[in-house]
């Protein structure tokens, strides 16, 4: 709705006939909700007569009121029952739980060797500010025993006390008759995410045990990596959690943090996403808005309720310039307009566009859909080794991306023989049938977006078939990608080239140290990287890949900097498709963005420079949805042969034939 009309040059907008806007259920300070506030504030300047109503049970109403110039706030009391709120010291006193210095829950500086931390298979890091927030020598009220005080002061409050949670459950359910009325349904909040706080309602909950922690994603703009951080919730999160206990009767809640921490150290509200996640997608969205929001991305984002740092805004804009979605002057490019219509990460969106042009769309749809949803691979408790072996049976060319596609294709073929066979396959190879169905749904959505943007041309019959499948409420329907878009889907080198071009500069250099260990580093800032245990390349030696570079999608920093999904990249893909190339004939080198340097013979260098120029021109033409000339078609076929390592069988070699010679990259 917000993209309709035109808000520039005095022309009308899609809002000219609208008098009221009502927005319900604004729960979290997501990037989308903050962007919505910017748009609404801009609209109010252009349309003072417009009336906007925001409804929410959790946002900071006073702060939003000030943001809109002191607009009125209406308070509607809720109908929840009172909740008896207790804290960590109350839980320890109630259960008589105690620990000694030898306990895995005892404070040991910055060490996390205790059983409580090691029991979690998912690796996270503790928020940096938690080290400063550790509570020591806390004085409790006289009503608490000395044993409770000793336990509270010895407890490492950065760990989740699972033993205490078990003791609470035992006391409430079996040992204390005065709490029997709270034992029918108990909700325990572990650090997973905050989905259950706002997305799930369980009507018969009467007791809540809140670990007081959650895991949230934070994006490090400087290092361009994501970090899954284990940190304390804010007061508003805690209120949302304990509110679950008062839906049907008077409830009980145990917060597993001290009253002192709640009163003096916990934030009132969590940091909004605009302050901790990547701003690239939001920056691109700003450039396609038909409402005139501001003169630049920075100008717009600095008007946010909580403006992000200028440096982070500039890094986001630079990343869009790097993928060529924006020009250096912040003008949106034809490719950028196409990317804005794909509801996915800009790198995955670019990968889908290039895979379409390279005629390997089918595996690309699977890869993009999987990376935007849940993994099809599952690991039941106690069956880690069996699940790993099953996953490795789908391995394809040392690529996590192709392994995903292989597993999905196997399942899809099994579905053609009946759902019973497909479910048997899932059970045997530890695959999630539900997650695979969601991947198929996303595949169809992405294909639909490509068609709607006119980037993919299909006949009306296919459009109707896709529409019936996407909106069918019966059993899942599969859609076969048009054959002309899948000609190269079996050529793993071409798929790898599309991945490299789309994900660049998410590239790792591969080397071997003197002691024989892997030396894998980012090309952006030379940081050492390790394969995450979930990757099929975990434990593999660098020399086994047979290439000098890998591409990746996710880097996550926990105990180390881990690459979750990786795939080999041929040097030719980097030379022809990635970054800005500098060809230096005198020194026999080619550099890509001053990050990667190759040794190339002069004749090969000239040929590569010309081929790169021609390939760039024909890709740019196709981003504008223009047909290729006969000459461009020929250049495209030659490029596909080179990228796909297809043997060229033509006339005998002539004197003017150039053999491309590219040596191992020279690392700085």
The predicted-structure confidence for 599-634, as pLDDT tens digits, reads as follows 999 999 999 999 999 999 999 999 998 999 999 999
Range from 264-268, 292-296, 352-356 carrying the lowest mean pLDDT: 292-296
In the predicted model, what is the mean pLDDT of the chain?
85
Contact 109, 273 (CB under 8 A): no
- Residue 15's pLDDT band (cuts 50, 70, 90): low
- Whether the CB-CB separation of 297 and 316 falls below 8 Å is answered with yes
Q: Is the pLDDT of residue 548 over 70?
A: yes
From the number of C-beta atoms within 10 Å of its C-beta (0-12, 13-18, 19+), residue 179 rates as middle
Looking at the predicted structure, is the pLDDT value of residue 190 above 80?
yes
Q: Per residue in 286-339, pLDDT tens?
A: 888 877 888 899 999 999 999 998 988 998 899 899 899 999 999 999 999 999
pLDDT tens-digit readout, 488-530 = 999 999 999 999 999 999 999 998 887 778 889 999 889 999 9
Phi/psi of residue 537, nearest 5 degrees: -90, 0
* Pairwise pLDDT comparison (119 vs 337), residue with the higher score: 337
Range among 24-33, 301-310, 472-481 with highest mean pLDDT value: 301-310
- Retrieve residue 244's tokens: 């679950």
For residue 72, give Cα distances in angstroms to 26, 236, 324, 394: 17, 22, 44, 59
Angle separating helix axes 492-503 and 400-415, nearest 10 degrees: 120
Least confident of 139-148, 307-316, 474-483, 658-667: 658-667
Given this model, what pLDDT does residue 466 score? 83
pLDDT category of residue 170 using cuts at 50, 70 and 90: very high
Average pLDDT over residues 217-242: 79
Please report, for the chain, the start and end positions of each structural domain, with discontinuous segments joined by +: 20-59+275-322, 83-268, 334-498, 505-569, 574-643
pLDDT at 354 over 90: yes
Indicate the range of 221-230, 389-398, 546-555, 557-566 predicted with least confidence.
Answer: 221-230
- Nearest residue to 534 (alpha-carbon basis) of 388, 352, 335, 333: 388
Residue bearing the bigger pLDDT, 650 or 423? 423
Residue 11 has pLDDT above 60, yes or no: no
Residues 381-395, mean pLDDT to the nearest whole number: 91
Quickly state the pLDDT bin for 3 (edges 50, 70, 90).
Answer: very low
Q: What 3-state class would DSSP assign to 54?
A: strand
Q: 55 pLDDT band (50/70/90 cuts)?
A: confident
Determine the Cα angle at 619 with ends 613 and 624, to 5°.
130
**Residue 486 banded pLDDT, cuts 50, 70, 90:** very high
CB proximity list for 621: less than 8 A, separation 6 or greater: 628, 632
What's the pLDDT score for residue 86? Answer: 97
Assign 51 to helix, strand or coil. Answer: strand
pLDDT band at 114 (very low <50, low <70, confident <90, very high): very low
Give the CA diameter of the chain: 96
Model confidence at 112, pLDDT cuts 50, 70, 90, reads very low
Question: Is residue 428 pLDDT above 90, yes or no?
Answer: yes
| 337-343 contacts, C-beta under 8 A, 24 or more apart | 337/288, 338/453, 338/455, 338/623, 339/284, 340/284, 340/285, 340/287, 340/288, 341/449, 341/452, 341/453, 342/446, 342/449, 342/450, 342/453, 343/445, 343/449
Are the CB atoms for 560 and 483 separated by under 8 Å? no
Q: What is the mean pLDDT of residues 192-221?
A: 75
What's residue 462's pLDDT? Answer: 87
Does residue 449 have a pLDDT over 70?
yes
């Amino acid at each position: 709705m917000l993209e309709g009309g035109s808000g520039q040059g005095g022309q009308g907008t899609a809002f000219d006939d609208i008098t009221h806007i009502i927005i319900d259920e604004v729960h979290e300070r997501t990037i989308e909700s903050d962007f919505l506030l910017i748009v609404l504030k801009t609209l109010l300047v252009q349309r003072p007569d417009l009336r906007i109503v925001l409804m929410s049970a959790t946002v900071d109403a006073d702060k939003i009121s000030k943001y809109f110039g002191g607009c009125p706030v209406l308070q509607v009391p809720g109908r929840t029952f009172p909740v008896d709120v207790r804290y960590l010291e109350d839980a320890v006193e109630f259960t008589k739980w105690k620990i000694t210095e030898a306990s895995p829950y005892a404070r040991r500086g910055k060490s996390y060797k205790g059983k409580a931390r090691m029991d979690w298979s998912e690796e996270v890091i503790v928020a940096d500010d938690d080290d400063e927030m550790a509570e020591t020598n806390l004085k409790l009220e006289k009503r608490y025993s000395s044993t409770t005080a000793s336990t509270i002061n010895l407890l490492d409050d950065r760990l989740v006390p699972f033993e205490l949670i078990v003791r609470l459950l035992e006391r409430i359910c079996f040992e204390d008759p005065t709490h029997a009325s709270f034992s029918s349904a108990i909700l325990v909040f572990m650090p997973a995410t905050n989905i259950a706080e706002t997305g799930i309602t369980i009507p018969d909950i009467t007791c809540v045990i809140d670990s007081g922690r959650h895991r949230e994603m934070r994006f490090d703009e400087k290092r361009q990596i994501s970090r899954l951080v284990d940190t304390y919730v804010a007061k508003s999160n805690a209120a949302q959690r304990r509110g679950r206990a008062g839906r049907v009767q008077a409830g009980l809640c145990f917060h597993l943090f001290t009253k002192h921490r709640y009163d003096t150290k916990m934030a009132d509200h969590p940091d909004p996403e605009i302050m901790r996640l990547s701003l690239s997608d939001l920056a691109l969205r700003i450039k396609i808005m038909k409402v005139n929001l501001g003169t630049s991305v920075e100008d717009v984002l600095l008007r946010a309720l909580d403006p992000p740092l200028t440096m982070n805004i500039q890094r986001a804009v630079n990343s869009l310039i790097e993928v060529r979605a924006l020009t250096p002057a912040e003008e949106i490019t034809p490719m950028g307009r196409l990317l804005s219509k794909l509801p996915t990460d800009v790198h995955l969106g670019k990968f889908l566009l290039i895979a379409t042009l390279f005629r390997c769309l089918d595996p690309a749809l699977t890869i993009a859909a999987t990376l935007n949803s849940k993994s099809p691979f599952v690991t039941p408790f106690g069956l880690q080794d069996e699940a790993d072996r099953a996953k490795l049976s789908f391995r394809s060319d040392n690529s996590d991306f192709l392994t995903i596609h292989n597993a999905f294709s196997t399942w899809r073929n099994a579905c053609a023989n009946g759902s019973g066979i497909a479910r048997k396959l899932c059970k045997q190879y530890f695959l999630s049938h539900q997650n695979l169905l969601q991947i198929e749904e996303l595949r169809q959505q992405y294909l639909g977006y490509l068609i709607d943007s006119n980037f993919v041309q299909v006949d009306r019959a296919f459009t109707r078939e896709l529409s019936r499948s996407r909106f069918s409420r019966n059993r899942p329907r599969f859609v076969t990608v048009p054959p002309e878009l899948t000609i190269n889907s079996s050529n793993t080198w071409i798929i790898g080239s599309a991945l490299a071009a789309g994900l660049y500069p998410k590239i790792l250099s591969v080397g071997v140290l003197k002691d024989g260990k892997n030396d894998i580093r980012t090309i952006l800032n030379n940081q050492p990287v390790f394969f995450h245990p979930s990757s099929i390349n975990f434990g593999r030696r660098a020399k086994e890949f047979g290439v000098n570079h890998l591409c990746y999608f996710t880097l996550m920093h926990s105990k180390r900097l881990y690459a979750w999904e990786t795939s080999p990249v041929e040097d030719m893909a980097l030379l022809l498709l990635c970054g800005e190339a500098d060809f230096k004939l005198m020194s026999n080198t080619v550099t890509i963005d001053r990050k990667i340097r190759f040794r190339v013979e002069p004749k090969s260098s000239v040929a590569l420079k010309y081929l790169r120029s021609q390939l760039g021109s024909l890709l740019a033409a196709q981003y504008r949805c223009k047909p290729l000339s006969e000459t461009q078609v020929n250049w495209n076929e030659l490029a596909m042969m080179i990228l796909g390592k297809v043997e060229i069988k033509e006339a005998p070699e002539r004197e003017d034939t150039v053999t491309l010679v590219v040596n191992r990259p020279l690392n700085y």
